[in-house]
Chains A and B, each alone.
Chain A
């Protein structure tokens, strides 16, 4: 019993250690003071007002959402197609291709950022939404491929045999059996892709320009100039979005 009690304390401490710094940012966003202090002495929504009245903050939020949405679309389409392709390969080329697709996640992000930046400079694409979408897709694609591949692997081949035995051709089988059964994996991969793009900083710092800037980049720039709770508002918004994504992921898995 004593050991169990100690274990519970330990687990609670680890959980607090992991979660507390993240949650600490939330009260700051509701502070009435002009600087970040924990806990805030009085409460207000003034920094939320400041955030949403400032066109440049709003623009970065919209840019982030736009880039994340585009990244999700591109990586879901390409990643799903890639996962289906890989599943039909021989075991050897399957290992090879999976390794290739997972490459960007293994390479240190800063290396990737420098490489992307020099490519962007050469093509004049730095500071464009296209460049950011391409860069984010490189990081998001593996999550989609992995999620869809897991769903495909766990798909019982007998469903396919049963459908073909009942007279369905390959297009019908894909539409009525394979796709619906794999779709939770596609949705899960899409959510991962969205979150990956939405909170990506390193590549975004390198590829952002004066007109195209994502929310995390703006937060990073802001905090170096002014240490005000408006930064906490931005961070809280990001936290909220991550929470929504995690909940959606749970719902789609349980369905």
Chain B
């Protein structure tokens, strides 16, 4: 059994004096599907390129298992890379593209054609062997790119926003396909995206990055239910953030004094929360519900989303919050009373008020 763990040890990358990636430590387990999630300029692609060997880190080491590969050129790394625009060779056919890596490895021709046929079948590309790349649809090109990366049986699979060029419907299908493929043939995978939905659907673990730093890592539900700060809360899912001052922290519970609200908001205390500091209460839209005797609110706007209705409420405190309920619950009432499930509220330090 090959131990295809990846370990970034104090890795950083500077372009001149510009920092693309601050000193970063990260380990990816064998067979884990890890997503680097962040806005552009967060360093996620830099980290991926360092892993692939396309970018030389300014400092630090990259290890596969216990082998240091920092100075190994890309062609000796045995990694499969799927590029954002696929980078399929335009002058070669589907078959020639897919067999490229096998030919470079000097594998016997009959084994090459066998493996190519196998992978094309797996990718549902049978019958497309002799097509030119430009004759394929975006979804088909995407699958060829994946086939070309996987046919070499890479230790690590790297993907750089591979679904960006696909339309929404196709993107959803391919997400599930990649997930299914991963569950059937677990392979250490690093996936880069700025799309939170993509990250949630496919990943075993998500690493949220910002300005060249890792902000938080964990499973999708870790990040959604228990974000460490307002940046993560905003980046994953919809969020209502009510600003206030921390009045009390006891163990894992904190109280937030929000101007205008008569009652302090109780919630899970995020890491690093200090009494007296500014912080925000995170109320996910689905946790806000109709509750008689709750806070008075006025309905400002409703948006029909199919199975759900999003409603914008103005609380008596002046705060505006979005809710998401099954269709029919608020029913265009002008005045309502609302509350929320306290066990699902988080009190988060506000990243915009501190240097990250």
Contacts and interface: CB of A to CB of B under 8 A. Distances in A.
A165 B78 CA distance: 8
Contact of A177 (B53, B85, B89, B148): B89
A163 B100 contact: yes
Nearest to B81: A165
A169 B87 contact: no
A164 B78 CA distance: 10
Contacts of A161: 52, 54, 74, 81, 83, 87
A166 B88 CA distance: 12
A156 interface: yes
Contact of A162 (B78, B83, B91): B83
B152 interface: yes
Interface string A171-200: 010001100110000000000000000000
A167 B85 contact: no
B87 A172 contact: no
Nearest to A181: B91
A162 B75 contact: no
A164 B72 CA distance: 12
B356 interface: no
A92 interface: no
Interface residues of B, number: 25
A91 to B, nearest CB: 15
B87 A158 contact: yes
Contacts, number: 59
Interface size class on chain A is 10 to 19
A179 to B, nearest CB: 10
B108 interface: no
Contacts of A172: 104
A162 B89 CA distance: 9
Interface in B87-112: 87-91, 100-101, 104-105
Interface of A: 156, 158-159, 161-169, 172, 176-177, 180-181
Given A167-B101, A180-B91, 14 more contacts: A158-B85, A159-B87, A161-B54, A162-B87, A163-B104, A164-B73, A164-B74, A164-B75, A165-B53, A165-B79, A166-B75, A166-B100, A166-B101, A169-B75
22 contacts: A156-B87, A159-B89, A161-B74, A161-B83, A161-B87, A163-B89, A164-B74, A165-B52, A165-B74, A165-B75, A165-B77, A165-B80, A165-B81, A166-B104, A166-B148, A166-B152, A167-B75, A167-B76, A168-B75, A168-B100, A168-B104, A169-B104
